[in-house]
Amino acid sequence: MSRNPKNSRIDGGRRKFLQASGLGLAATAGGGVLTARSSHAAVETNAHIVIVGAGAAGLDAANRLSRELTGAKITIIDSRVEHIYQPGLTLVATGIWKPQKVMDENSRYMPEGIHWVQARVAEFDPSANAVVTDAGQRIDYDYLMVTTGLQVNYDAVEGMSPELIGQMGIGCVYDKPDYAARTWEMVDRFTDEGGVGLFTRPKGPVKCAGAPLKVTMLTEDLFERKGTRNRGEMYYTPPGQKLFSQPDINEFLKQEFPSRGITLNWDHPLVGIEPELKRATFETPNGLERIDYDFIHVVPPMQSPAPLANSELSWKTGPFSAGHWMEVDQYTLQHPRFSNVFGSGDCVGTPIGKTAASVKAQVPVAVSNLVSSIADREFAARYTGYTSCPLVTRKGEAILVEFDYELGMVPSFPFVNPYEKHWFPWMLKDRMLHSAYNAMLRGRV
């Protein structure tokens, strides 16, 4: 992999590049979908479809289903009124964006005619084709689309709780804009004062696996921009011997981190912190190791939400059972034992996923196949495992990483070398993908 990126400067070539990028943005938004184009009209049905979760996947699915079905009753269940643009949280946590930029309202994206139950699902009963809300309401369905997102297990790290974020040198980019903003306060102080910084990554799948890497590299870049790099020691602590699932990017990062003075502590999953002592405990092949810190970016283990995890819909064996992820066929996104149940987004157990780009690729497949099931047609859509990550290496540059189940690069932009740092992926991250995301919520990309 080349490690000699060109410095980003605006020129005439960049203008042409941006003009040509529309096609690539559309490909990025819909990558990974193999579906036969058809002229099928909207399917007429009196079926009741329930969508559990009004995050990115749920809203996208709701809008698509409302257009592809006529006569259906569509219910979406979620208590959340606020909508968070989660891909922007890394930029909030490193001082590049303000928290307000990632905050929105779910009501802006709800399709007309949908029934919105503002509650949480407390129980899935797929054998009886029903869900039960935390208010005790039982809702029957003909078809179920599960888009719950995931659960961040703060208590899986002993001594950790979300209330600690923004105190005693503790940061965490996940979950809420407020947590990201409090993390920025800690990052800003750390890059002023220096000391020891620990950047963690847990075992198992996490939402946007690139986020811990981006926070690490943006923090190191901030040190450089402030002229205080010599004050900080930085350590990245992966749980195993890899930094990234895509092999080429993994090799790049194994060189990039040491070249920037970031020490790699292999096989160091975080298991506990002592906030008042500013001490972290890691489970290593040689036993427990305790390291004192001035700043720590805690990335807790993640799993499917408890009601889904405890239901018949979760994986019971195999690699996805540890996180209790929803069981689906990795290509059709249909549940193998409950044929009227489909899933997409962070909650599903597939080999690749848990990014906004995965949602963009998965939802059209899940919706197409659900509609085909209603219409008694063969499934025409398949999810290839497409995911994308603008892997930000510094403010102003990134690598646009796009790959699939085969772990091979599947670039959308013929102009961008997917193995080199470049200004354009940064521009996508900072200026363009938010609009594409909003279009996705309306089922338009």
| Active site positions, annotated | 208, 389
Instruction: For residue 178, give both structure tokens.
Output: 């407020």
- The CA angle 126-131-136, to the nearest 5 degrees, is 145
CA dist 40 and 23 (Å) reads: 25
Helix (H) or strand (E) holding 400: strand 397-403
Q: Are 124 and 30 in contact (CB under 8 A)?
A: no
The CA-based angle 126-127-129, given to 5 degrees, is 55
Two tokens at 392? 């930000």
Q: Distance between CA atoms of 370 and 105, rounded to whole angstroms?
A: 27
Residue with the two structure tokens 């019971």: 316
In which residue are the tokens 């963009």 written? 360
Q: Residue 444 half-sphere exposure, CB side, CA atoms within 13 Å?
A: 10
Per-residue tokens: 71: 């006569």
**Which pair of tokens denotes residue 445?**
């990309």
Phi first, then psi, for residue 341 (nearest 5°) are: -120, 130
